[in-house]
Amino acid sequence: MTQTPTLVEKDRMDERAKRFKSPTFNLQLAVIFILAVAPFIIPSFTFMDVMAKIMIFAVVVASFDLLLGYTGILNFAHGMFFGVGAYSVALILYYSKSPGWHHILLAAVISLVISIVLSLVISFFSLRVKAIFFAMLTLALAEFAHILAVQWTSLTGGEDGISFVLPGIFNFSWSGPTFFGTQMNGRLMVYYLILVCAVFLFAGLVRFVRSPLGRVLKSIRENEQRTVALGFKTFGYQIYAIVFSAAISSLSGILFAMWICYVNPDSVFHTAIMVNILLMVLIGGMGTLYGAMIGAAFLIVTETWLPSILKAGASFAPDVAIIQNLSDRWQLYFGILFVLVVMFFPKGVIGTIRAMLGQKK
């Protein structure tokens, strides 16, 4: 006798059937395809640099969104884990006499261990305090990590930082065969490594928020007391979220360091990075995960090309002093753009679009 499937089972079957046919899935494939062929279509370093940084920061921002948007935890130490990952790979490759693959793996393991231990310590000591104190404590910790990287000159090279070389095909001096008129080289290989890792890490985050655990996190964000009354030990779930997001952030830090082959305290530990991550989440939309891509793209593209666009614009009026002066202050225009985004997309770009689509339904 065949049993009629329950509503939940029917839902699961529908989801499975639609999984690879949905417009969202096709859009994801299209984005990955564009990122994969982009270096062949526009073989410019600046363009590739922007794309690589968007991929890396999309993952970091999505992992921060897991905390802020899904769980309601404002953890200012999130950027610190990014720095931990970056410094792990940088220090190991810098101090190894002949850098090899295993050094990168070792760096991944070490950064994961440090991040997990640190995030557990943060969780146990500060998650029980009120949200605002948790934010302040984590901010202080992040600042401490920055100071440590500056002061521990003998290990980290202080403010000057350290540059290193990558092993094998990731070494920037490596060159390989030519494909479609583009010479394969170490930089391109790192680009593809970032693409593959970013896709896997992002998929991991998507899987995490769609799992039963993700549902509990959303519930905690909405009302912790109700979640507790339903039978969930919310403290434990918050720890999962903090540890998982810290691990993802530190792995992204490794990718970032591998891309620029240089780290210094300001490039990976500075509070400004955390502020940028926060801005990216707000622009893309909190609690959307995919908004991380939009936020990262908006900020990185603006930072990279807005100054040149302003300069080009100012060249049409070379004698007007005020225009010349204003063209140097791209942050002012960025601020205006940010205000406009917040005004027209109050829930972030993805959040507002989702809300509009929800209203239409």
Partner 1 sequence: MSDPILSLKNVHTHIEQHHILQGVSFDINPGGATILLGRNGAGKSTTLKTVMGLLPASNGSILFKGRGINKKKPYEIARMGMGFVPEDKAILATLTVEENFRLSMLNENEKSHENLEEVLDLFPALKKFWKTQAGLLSGGQKQMLAIARVLVCDHSLLLIDEPSKGLAPIVVEQLGESLIKIKDKTKVILVEQNFNLARQVGLDCFILDDGHVVYQGLMEELAKDKALMKNYLGI
Among 1, 2, 8, 344, which residue interacts with partner 1 (rule: CB under 8 A)?
Answer: 8
109 is a site residue for partner 1 (CB under 8 A): no
343 is a site residue for partner 1 (CB under 8 A): no
Among 19, 102, 226, 311, which residue interacts with partner 1 (rule: CB under 8 A)?
Answer: 226
114 is a site residue for partner 1 (CB under 8 A): no
Q: Which positions from 281 to 300 touch partner 1 by CB under 8 A, shown as an x/- string?
A: ------x-------------
Task: Compute CA 57 distance to the chain's CA centroid, rounded to the nearest angstrom.
Answer: 3
Residue 18 structure tokens: 């639609």
85-116: b (≥16 Cβ within 10 Å) or e: bbbbbbbbbbeeeebeeebbebbbebbbebbb
106 is a site residue for partner 1 (CB under 8 A): no
Are the CB atoms for 107 and 257 separated by under 8 Å? no
In the complex, what is the shortest distance from the CB of residue 287 to partner 1, in angstroms, rounded to a whole number? Answer: 8
213 is a site residue for partner 1 (CB under 8 A): no
Residue 327 structure tokens: 């063209």
In the complex, what is the shortest distance from the CB of residue 137 to partner 1, in angstroms, rounded to a whole number? Answer: 24
With respect to partner 1, which residue has the nearer C-beta, 53 or 221?
Answer: 221
17 is a site residue for partner 1 (CB under 8 A): no
Are the CB atoms for 61 and 292 separated by under 8 Å? yes
With respect to partner 1, which residue has the nearer C-beta, 120 or 215?
Answer: 215
The residue type at 166: L
Among 18, 233, 311, 329, which residue interacts with partner 1 (rule: CB under 8 A)?
Answer: 233
Binding to partner 1 in span 297-336, by CB under 8 A: none
The residue type at 125: F
218 is a site residue for partner 1 (CB under 8 A): yes
Burial class (CB in 10 A: 0-12, 13-18, 19+), 154: exposed
With respect to partner 1, which residue has the nearer C-beta, 6 or 173?
Answer: 6
Contacts of 245 (CB under 8 A, 6+ apart): 63, 64, 66, 67, 75, 78
In the complex, what is the shortest distance from the CB of residue 233 to partner 1, in angstroms, rounded to a whole number? Answer: 5
Are the CB atoms for 126 and 139 separated by under 8 Å? no
Using CB under 8 A as the criterion, which residues of the chain lie in contact with partner 1 when the complex forms?
6-9, 11, 212, 215-216, 218-219, 221-223, 225-234, 287, 358
